Structure 1
Amino acid sequence: MQYQVVSDSATQVQTGCIVVTLDQSGKLSDAAQAINSATGGFLQARIDAKDIKGNVGDTLLLLGVSGISAERVLLVGTGKDEISAFNAGKIVTAIASGIAKIPGTVAVSIADLASECMPEAWWAEQMMLALHSAQYRFTATKPAKEEPARAEKLIWIGSDVGAALERGDAIGMGTDYAKDLGNMPPNICTPTYLAEQAEAIAADGSMTCKVYDEKELEAMGAGSFYSVSKGSSEPGKIIILQYLGAADKNAAPHMLVGKGITFDTGGISLKPGPKMDEMKYDMCGAASVLGTMKTIQALKPAINVVAIVTSAENMPSGHASKPGDVVTSLSGLTIEILNTDAEGRLVLCDALTLGIRDYQPASVVDIATLTGACMAALGKVNSGLFTTDEGLATELMTASGYSRDRIWRLPLEEDYQAGLDSNFADIANIGGPLAGATTAACFLSRFTEGTRWAHLDIAGPAWGGDGTTKNSTGRPVPLLSTYLLNKES
């Protein structure tokens, strides 16, 4: 989306709509008061008539307002004097919903909502993200019958927050891209399709792309990955994008690893039929990694990043792994497969070994729709964070707080490791019935020893809705982008 920063009076901005605010007591912001004065008390008359009360997220769109340059005015409620981060999110979402379909240019005058905790640049970035979200539509397999009206340019009335608007636009674009990948039907979005998408991202020369095919991975000893991919007629891939933006191209990169199971039947440990269509979303970790790399490509930060997508279908067939099979991972550890539906960790562990071995990263974050147990614990609100590295935990929690892409730290104590003991291999691929999200993280930790590593279980937040509202969320692109961009400063 185009954007512009101006310092003009709210009464003078030429725009299809201008957004101003009022609080729960009915007090107009300075910009709203200026419009009220220029229109002979028109806004106050609407408040007196109780057309709007000023509660958080209340909106009132006013047409044909004379005395100002804007064609419309959107009044938005901000609630009580002190605005929490949660309510700030409701406010920008309400604004975006109100102006997303207004054609042409829209203007926003909310700089006075800034505080020490939520500065003006934060509001600008969140406003741009909210607009991307409000305007998102999946059209790849269901094109719109006609092009919908949409706002094409945002005018920010306030101080110079152009960098924040650019950042919000880039993160919003990356999030939209991740949504598209997640929503794509699994007969189109295959491991080969994801590889083609990564190659397209790298085509401008801003980064490099390397793709390992299934046979190469089998030959190099990635038996854990191959145990999953061999069950499908669609060949699995490990896809690597490398971005070298730091002045020192040899500086250790920060690594993202995304689970990309493009469809998960559960394999021989077959899932129940109802809602199995949603298992196309089992590649949302991979989608978020590719979406984050789109953001990195747009902003070109001075950091080095390696992104790995480990992608396969998990299908039942005569070639598929069976419960009780023992396979040898790329690290050399043997794994007893007790449940073929715990396949995400099997593809991730070989990707982690490969990435750490070949790139010696400064840090590693893997992202996966890994366990129903994490969703049972945290619902659809928070992703689960697992790490024993306090510094990395702080970095991710800080990025989460700023981006509003929420995570919650769950335990990863050594005591849980015993749940993965096996009589027949170095490690089993599942623990017992309890603490399933933690034992899954424990499994991955066996392949990251000596590395600053964190695991994000996004099984809950990666998609939402039901029926006609079902949709990928694009999370955690905002979190991952913020986390990486913070490393530039």
Structure 2
Amino acid sequence: MTSKLKLTFSNDAPEGDCVTICLISTDSVIIPKLDKDVAAQLIAKMASAQFTGKKGTSLSLYLDVGVYLLIGVGEMIKAGIHAETVGGNLFTALAATPHKQGWIPALKLADEVAADIIFGVELAAYHFEQYFTETDSAEASVQLTVSNEFITEDDRDLADRQALANGVALARDLVFEPANKLYPEAFADRCASLSDLGLDVEILGEADMEALGMGALLGVGQGSRRESRMVVMNWRGGKDEAPLALVGKGVTFDTGGISLKPAKGMEDMKWDMGGAAAVTGAMAAIAGRKVKRNVVGVIGLVENMPDGNAQRPGDVVTAMSGKTIEVINTDAEGRLVLADALHYTETRFEPAMMVNLATLTGAIIVSLGKEYGGLFSNSDELAAQLTQAGMATEEKLWRLPMGKAYDKMLKSHIADMKNIGGPYGGSITAACFLERFVSKTPWAHLDIAGKAWSDKATATVPKGGTGFGVRLLNRLVDNWTTAHITANDG
């Protein structure tokens, strides 16, 4: 990861070419403590520039005593998304100044609000430039100095947000990486390095998975010269309790296999491991934040290629659960990976709940566009908790139905099921397929095909890899309650 931010803490403004940052609300209240004469000058210049403090606006003012950067915040800042967006807008405005060096003086804000503002700054400062041999001077780092009266460097809320930002950045990095650099073994190696955070990381090779009977996952990867992997990341932060389980699809490149995708846009299929990236980033954040719960992350890593040994349409594979699957379309491969990953996770760890994430279907983008991730679940309560977590983190989900009528579309005449259900309801039949590999555990499937990669930037999310799911999962884990959580009620 490359961040365009250099963040320091000091009671004194840095010397040299530095702008003082003022957060201005729509009632024209200047939030920082300023000299009366300076405040009067700023108010007069704001009036002449018709700067009202509208959210998302900014204004640079040059006074005899220095340069001031005004950031419009709208209504008085609230913790959460509002404060994070203010931080993102602050970074963007500061980066656009010729100085690129700012100072946040003392502000009368709660520590949680201040931490969220800095969190937003850090999210906005993310920049992936691993493969540039030259960098544009216009992309120079932004230096931000924060007064210890705004928030102290060792503040607990700030440390929590910084660990979360690191997890988001890791997920974004993984999604941005090209497939010749990030293949299953390389992805697994990156996960292994997370043991430094206190995660217990276990890597299963093809021989291990073959011994366990994971014919569905292994079938997807058999056409690639890159060996498949499964990674287990275990965080034991709780007491004697069943873990919460996070499961991710990690197809490091998806050609479609023998059911080859069109050439146009195929380069985007490097991010077909967005679900695994989200789980990995979430586990890194959970460990970095030292969450007091038991959480296990499991990701299946494969590359779907069309060589002479590749899986064919019409093949029948046997999943770890013992169920047989007729492969009608080799481009419906992610659900085969998750079939074994879900069964393995449930039978080995007996979790209190399971949530899987996957860039599973293009049909979910047809249904929801790129505004929401698709949510499918066998538990109303789990679905409700996920929906609430999504709203709180701006990683929004929309629940779609399942049921017997859709499930019947998976019927095969030679095996227990087909891997696709026909031309209609593709996201739903994919979810029904996954549900067949879950027993009694409360479970949810998040189809994030429209959310793992973005064609445009927002205040805190870059164009490209979004890291979608990291914050959502962390909020779910933080707020998790087992009250009335049951399976097979949705």
TM-score over 0.5 for the pair: yes
The answer (yes or no) to whether the contact 2:86–2:120 under 8 Å persists in 1 is no
Match of 1:200 in 2: 193
Match of 1:35, SS state, is coil
Match of 2:173, SS state, is helix
Which sits farther off after the overlay, 179-188 or 210-219? 210-219
Q: 1:246 aligns with which of 227, 234, 238?
A: 238
Amino acid at match of 1:246: G
Q: Distance in 2 between matches of 1:306 and 1:150?
A: 37
Compared CA separation, residues 2 and 156, structure 1 to 2 (3 A): same
Listed one character per residue, the Cα deviations across residues 84-134 of structure 1 (whole Å, up to 9, x for unaligned) are: 98766653431231235766663277766xxxxxxx565334323321222
Match of 2:474 in 1: 481
Q: 2:22 aligns with which of 20, 23, 30?
A: 20
Match of 1:164 in 2: 157
**1:107 equivalent in alignment to 2:104:** yes
Q: Distance in 2 between matches of 1:139 and 1:442?
A: 40
Listed one character per residue, the Cα deviations across residues 299-324 of structure 1 (whole Å, up to 9, x for unaligned) are: 11111111111000011111111111
Compared CA separation, residues 487 and 100, structure 1 to 2 (3 A): farther
Shift of 1:406: 1.6
The answer (yes or no) to whether the contact 2:376–2:431 under 8 Å persists in 1 is yes
The answer (yes or no) to whether the contact 2:356–2:445 under 8 Å persists in 1 is yes
Match of 1:349 in 2: 339
TM-score, structure 1 normalization = 0.87
| Runs of 5+ consecutive residues of structure 1 not aligned to the other structure | 7-11, 113-119
Match of 2:34, SS state, is helix
Compared CA separation, residues 100 and 157, structure 1 to 2 (3 A): farther
Shift of 1:184: 0.7
Compared CA separation, residues 83 and 200, structure 1 to 2 (3 A): closer
Match of 2:68 in 1: 73
Which sits farther off after the overlay, 211-220 or 264-273? 211-220
Listed one character per residue, the Cα deviations across residues 258-317 of structure 1 (whole Å, up to 9, x for unaligned) are: 111000001111111111100000011111111112212211111111111100001111
**1:182 equivalent in alignment to 2:175:** yes
Q: 1:462 aligns with which of 452, 463, 475?
A: 452
Q: Distance in 2 between matches of 1:100 and 1:332?
A: 56
- Runs of 4+ aligned residues of structure 1 deviating over 3 Å after TM superposition are 1-6, 12-19, 21-24, 78-92, 99-106, 108-112, 120-126, 143-147, 152-161
Match of 2:31 in 1: 31
Equivalence map 1:121-132=2 (5 Å): 123-132=113-122
Equivalence map 1:410-489=2 (5 Å): 410-465=400-455, 471-487=464-480
Q: 1:296 aligns with which of 280, 286, 302?
A: 286
The answer (yes or no) to whether the contact 2:84–2:118 under 8 Å persists in 1 is no
Match of 2:218 in 1: 226
Shift of 1:166: 1.9
The answer (yes or no) to whether the contact 1:4–1:162 under 8 Å persists in 2 is no
Q: Distance in 2 between matches of 1:156 and 1:391?
A: 42
Match of 1:116 in 2: none
Q: Distance in 2 between matches of 1:156 and 1:284?
A: 37
Match of 1:262 in 2: 252
Which sits farther off after the overlay, 292-301 or 84-93? 84-93
Equivalence map 1:311-460=2 (5 Å): 311-460=301-450
RMSD across aligned positions (CA) = 3.0
Listed one character per residue, the Cα deviations across residues 160-209 of structure 1 (whole Å, up to 9, x for unaligned) are: 8933222221111111111111101100000001110011111x271211
Match of 1:237 in 2: 229
Q: Percent identity?
A: 35
The answer (yes or no) to whether the contact 2:386–2:476 under 8 Å persists in 1 is yes
**1:138 equivalent in alignment to 2:137:** no
Q: Distance in 2 between matches of 1:4 and 1:45?
A: 31
The answer (yes or no) to whether the contact 2:312–2:330 under 8 Å persists in 1 is yes
Match of 1:416, SS state, is helix
Compared CA separation, residues 22 and 417, structure 1 to 2 (3 A): same
Shift of 1:2: 5.5
The answer (yes or no) to whether the contact 2:167–2:282 under 8 Å persists in 1 is yes
Listed one character per residue, the Cα deviations across residues 373-402 of structure 1 (whole Å, up to 9, x for unaligned) are: 111112222111111212212221222122
The answer (yes or no) to whether the contact 1:111–1:123 under 8 Å persists in 2 is no
Match of 2:31, SS state, is helix
Q: Distance in 1 between matches of 2:347 and 2:120?
A: 39
Match of 2:132, SS state, is coil
Compared CA separation, residues 482 and 85, structure 1 to 2 (3 A): closer
The answer (yes or no) to whether the contact 2:24–2:31 under 8 Å persists in 1 is no
Q: Distance in 2 between matches of 1:422 and 1:465?
A: 38
Match of 2:55 in 1: 56
Amino acid at match of 1:61: S
Q: Distance in 1 between matches of 2:272 and 2:77?
A: 40
Listed one character per residue, the Cα deviations across residues 313-368 of structure 1 (whole Å, up to 9, x for unaligned) are: 01111111111111110001111111111100000110111111111111111010
The answer (yes or no) to whether the contact 1:302–1:488 under 8 Å persists in 2 is no
Tell me how many residue pairs correspond in the alignment: 466
